[in-house]
Structure 1
């Protein structure tokens, strides 16, 4: 089992009931201050978990399952773990173990406040009784119970519970629901419930919205030469598409993991990829059904480019794979949502006001980023921070795109004109302007939607980026203080770093203060301007902390630190393999910004061919080294669909890698469908 888990990148650390606790590890399994590969970083983390049980609130009978590993250019590493207790999954049991550049334990971020101690894990209520209790509070049309799982609920006090998952449709009749309900396994009381479908507009604002005019068509000047579109909100924009049969084009982006845009045609049951005959899409109005697709496709591309360029993350999940953007959903459906897999956009009132503005698209995609990085839940403080993250990066993508038709700002959803008077849904510089959001932190919250409890997070970010008076809008502070901003680029890097390396699933605002200070120290050093600005901005929104007041000069900033988590690079352009016996095809991938090469480079190959035994398949490194991965062996029916692991630790990672396929027999033909590199 151990070797199998390690081969898939997941390692389980078991602390048995009678296991001894080794002394704290001070050595560096990776060998001094050399940047470790994933295996060495995991070895560090395992050692730390075994030696520092108190730091992770560990007890006998628990297992820890390693997930994502982040490796800094400095050699420090950060490993995320999930926890089980006596075989039961633990809600809020996740944690992050940190190791410094020398491999020494450097602390942990832990979601649960207390160690688990349960006298019994035998429930008094059955799964069926828990499901019945969960159903009682469902608002909408219930279609089924997806499952009931016995868990330990570690938030805030560890207890035995059932996690019931319900499926259905919300009260509006069109928004899907995937609701989680936590039910006390002894009393049957419902403890908490939240939905995994993240909508853009809360129900109160939909109720308050006035009839809105349709969007204004954008000018068609400057249409680019290759695939191009005229969007409702973004105007004339370039589009990367994929050629299909008969000279037509699919709204699928081969440059960005096959981001795909499809249409429901104002239904809710089937979304079909959009196609166009001349690769010139839309006319800037809803009269051409491709216009909304242009905006969604362009928004997804801009979101991909922002995270890849600024934060070195390839795709919102970090796996190099795109996301499906689904337009024209439902009938008069005035909302957008992330459902854990796709982003979906309705056409609004009279099916004439599609919700595909740039910050809306980026906002919904950023929910996927949050799920992938920290797994922030959608309740209490974590829910507000989840929504704030999407507002933050929705705005940052808007700034980065620099589109003249939708300039960057700190208004959320202003272009969709929900209220008919140009007002946005949310205001980051003064959240209370929407009539419901909070400028300042308070606890406990009233029973408010996470869209409104996001206010302190949005307000903090604006103050950190722009300051209380130096930005595009004045931003009143909760304590009357004056805050000097550090610029949105540095503010965004701090937020992303905290989300990536420090936030946990049940993050509170108070812990977010600690974790953004850690992120500022990681990136810019302790008690430098950035660190002090984080302190001041949180204090200005009433989020206090126990961090020391900076009195002297700051530490020297660390060296370059961008996270170098495993990156994915792919080529999804279909390339025909000429028939043998001398047929040969090559597919290139250009690797950039990758500091090291691993011992376990994962090469995923998908080749369609009538006879895989005819083929010789090689991976060629930038220096010309050839790695043969398939030599006229068997495939899977008429394809080769495999992942190969190569030790390329002695090679320079950056440059052009090639997949070469040679056909050594005649009559059977095929193509390279796609291939990817995971560092």
Structure 2
């Protein structure tokens, strides 16, 4: 589960340039049945693919996703098993064209092999250690499962234990703890809870997708976008609560005292994010399967956060400090749903540099959703959470042009950036995206002033936001893996730029320049 945060001279903008990539490099839109058939075909061919990749006899490939480009290139994302055990950090993506393997992107280059699959440390010991490690109220652990941990320097036999409970701010906790099955040492841990017509509080009067109820009136179900539903938790913290229902299909009044208002913002955010994915990437829904997630509002009491959870495939929003500022603004909704996109594609581990890239991906697409909406009440900007006043002083949660303005985020890469909280290490990628989109120096966009610096004092010329998010999306869906770090993100985005616009193109060179400007070389 990824939460939104722990607490997140006038010039003109770079001109908007066409995001149209060569038709051959764009991903085809697959219907649900075609996608299911592609997954099954790839799974049937998985044994042959394993042999072609030279995997060991104990290894098997399990297909997770298939992306087909118009030129016939097929990108197949696999998880691995070893002797029947899940291999965590063993994911890989093959790139095949005309039946020939053109390349492979691996989360680890190590050969998967362990001396024995018999654990010296009992599962109960691993479970007890995981409970002790959890910084969570009312912690409870499920039984440990045996896995191969391949995200370290050398694959080892391990136990994975999931500890549930509550974090200190009331956010649910699903902490995954990886324990060495030989020594009992904790190897890794990460959170799986990923945190950011009606009259809305933040976006003005908007049109909503609703469904007539058989019993009369209307339900807040968007039948045109996969059946997205919006529920009222009414202060609860479990379950789905009550589906929002209205007699006349006129929802909310723009004030926090009307319970429907937060639902309007949440439902509007969900539909704009769906429309953005469809328009920009030909993607139907978060998982690309045409099915909607759902939203829950009014979580807890004065809960000052929002989060995405894979376990429920849903977004959840608190009402903010004093229950006065629900965390349902448009960029927050786009941010939270984009955690689901990352989980359905690269699966970036929510810790260290990969965790920073996970968070940055949500900021990048949350910002892109806000610009896409073109809503005069909440104009697009490169500020994160500027409407919700999470800090209580009127400032945004995060700044993409100069992330350090929040007092904690990193502007540039350094060897210690992975030790920062993921909401702060994300600054490097956020800064990269801003520079790639808009360029360096002072400018004003939609009334907001920016002045983005560079690590080496270089001048970066932006290629436009549309091209920038096309490059990031292709890298995320075809070249990033669970363990991608900043060096890997540079390599993946350069591959994506080459595929979309050509190696040595202006776009390719801009990607290289923007990474250099944030000290990723």
Common topology (TM > 0.5): yes
Measured after TM superposition, the shift of residue 470 of structure 1 is 6.6
User: Residue deviations 1:589-630, cap 9 Å, x none?
Assistant: xxxxxxxxxxxxxxxxxxxxxxxxxxxxxxxxxxxxxxxxxx
> Does 2:192 correspond to 1:196?
yes
2:278 maps to what in 1? 308
2:475 maps to what in 1? 498
2:214 maps to what in 1? 245
- Shift of the 40–471 alpha-carbon distance from structure 1 to 2, 3 Å rule, reads farther
Cα separation, 1, equivalents of 2:59 and 2:41: 23
Contact 1:41 1:77 in 2 (8 A): no
Measured after TM superposition, the shift of residue 444 of structure 1 is 3.7
Aligned counterpart for 1:160 among listed residues 157, 160, 181: 157
Measured after TM superposition, the shift of residue 245 of structure 1 is 3.3
Contact 1:45 1:99 in 2 (8 A): no
2:29 maps to what in 1? none
User: Residue deviations 1:125-161, cap 9 Å, x none?
Assistant: 1000001111112112234212311111112221111
The structure with the larger Rg is 1
2:517 maps to what in 1? 540
Aligned counterpart for 1:412 among listed residues 368, 384, 390: 384
After TM superposition, the score normalised by the length of structure 1 is 0.68
Return structure 1 stretches of 4+ with deviation > 6 angstroms: 39-45
- Shift of the 98–49 alpha-carbon distance from structure 1 to 2, 3 Å rule, reads farther
Contact 2:418 2:425 in 1 (8 A): no
After TM superposition, the score normalised by the length of structure 2 is 0.88
1:115 maps to what in 2? 111
Measured after TM superposition, the shift of residue 543 of structure 1 is 1.1
Measured after TM superposition, the shift of residue 280 of structure 1 is 0.5
1:400 maps to what in 2? 372
> Does 2:263 correspond to 1:263?
no
Q: After TM superposition, list the pairs within 5 Å mapping 1:567-578 onto structure 2.
A: none
1:375 maps to what in 2? 347
Measured after TM superposition, the shift of residue 404 of structure 1 is 0.5
Contact 1:45 1:79 in 2 (8 A): no
Aligned counterpart for 1:465 among listed residues 437, 452, 456: 437
User: Residue deviations 1:560-612, cap 9 Å, x none?
Assistant: xxxxxxxxxxxxxxxxxxxxxxxxxxxxxxxxxxxxxxxxxxxxxxxxxxxxx
Contact 2:43 2:62 in 1 (8 A): no
Aligned counterpart for 1:388 among listed residues 360, 363, 384: 360
State the SS of the aligned residue for 1:343.
strand
Cα separation, 1, equivalents of 2:194 and 2:76: 27
User: Residue deviations 1:378-401, cap 9 Å, x none?
Assistant: 011110000000000000000000
Cα separation, 2, equivalents of 1:407 and 1:260: 26
User: Residue deviations 1:272-316, cap 9 Å, x none?
Assistant: 111111100011001211011100000000000000111011000
Cα separation, 2, equivalents of 1:479 and 1:170: 40
User: Residue deviations 1:181-229, cap 9 Å, x none?
Assistant: 01111111112111111223xxxxxxxxxxxxxxxxxxxxxxxxxxx10
Q: 133-142 vs 352-361, which deviates more?
A: 133-142
Aligned counterpart for 2:289 among listed residues 319, 325, 335: 319
Cα separation, 2, equivalents of 1:379 and 1:349: 27
Measured after TM superposition, the shift of residue 170 of structure 1 is 1.2
Contact 2:202 2:387 in 1 (8 A): yes
Contact 1:78 1:96 in 2 (8 A): yes
Contact 1:144 1:167 in 2 (8 A): yes
Aligned counterpart for 1:290 among listed residues 257, 260, 263: 260
> Does 2:49 correspond to 1:52?
no
Cα separation, 1, equivalents of 2:138 and 2:414: 34
Measured after TM superposition, the shift of residue 43 of structure 1 is 7.2
Structure 1's unaligned 5+ residue stretches are 1-34, 201-227, 545-679
Measured after TM superposition, the shift of residue 450 of structure 1 is 0.6
2:398 maps to what in 1? 426
Contact 2:410 2:417 in 1 (8 A): no
Q: After TM superposition, list the pairs within 5 Å mapping 1:201-216 onto structure 2.
A: none
Measured after TM superposition, the shift of residue 240 of structure 1 is 1.0
- Shift of the 251–40 alpha-carbon distance from structure 1 to 2, 3 Å rule, reads closer
Measured after TM superposition, the shift of residue 42 of structure 1 is 6.4
Q: 270-279 vs 378-387, which deviates more?
A: 270-279
Measured after TM superposition, the shift of residue 169 of structure 1 is 1.2
Aligned counterpart for 1:333 among listed residues 303, 324, 349: 303
1:85 maps to what in 2? 82
State the SS of the aligned residue for 1:433.
helix
> Does 2:512 correspond to 1:516?
no
Measured after TM superposition, the shift of residue 408 of structure 1 is 0.3
Aligned counterpart for 1:479 among listed residues 456, 460, 465: 456
Cα separation, 1, equivalents of 2:148 and 2:392: 47
1:184 maps to what in 2? 180
1:209 maps to what in 2? none
2:5 maps to what in 1? none
2:244 maps to what in 1? 274
- Shift of the 446–65 alpha-carbon distance from structure 1 to 2, 3 Å rule, reads closer
User: Residue deviations 1:239-267, cap 9 Å, x none?
Assistant: 11011134311111000011111111122
Cα separation, 2, equivalents of 1:175 and 1:118: 37
Q: After TM superposition, list the pairs within 5 Å mapping 1:102-181 onto structure 2.
A: 102-157=98-153, 158-172=155-169, 174-181=170-177
User: Residue deviations 1:617-660, cap 9 Å, x none?
Assistant: xxxxxxxxxxxxxxxxxxxxxxxxxxxxxxxxxxxxxxxxxxxx
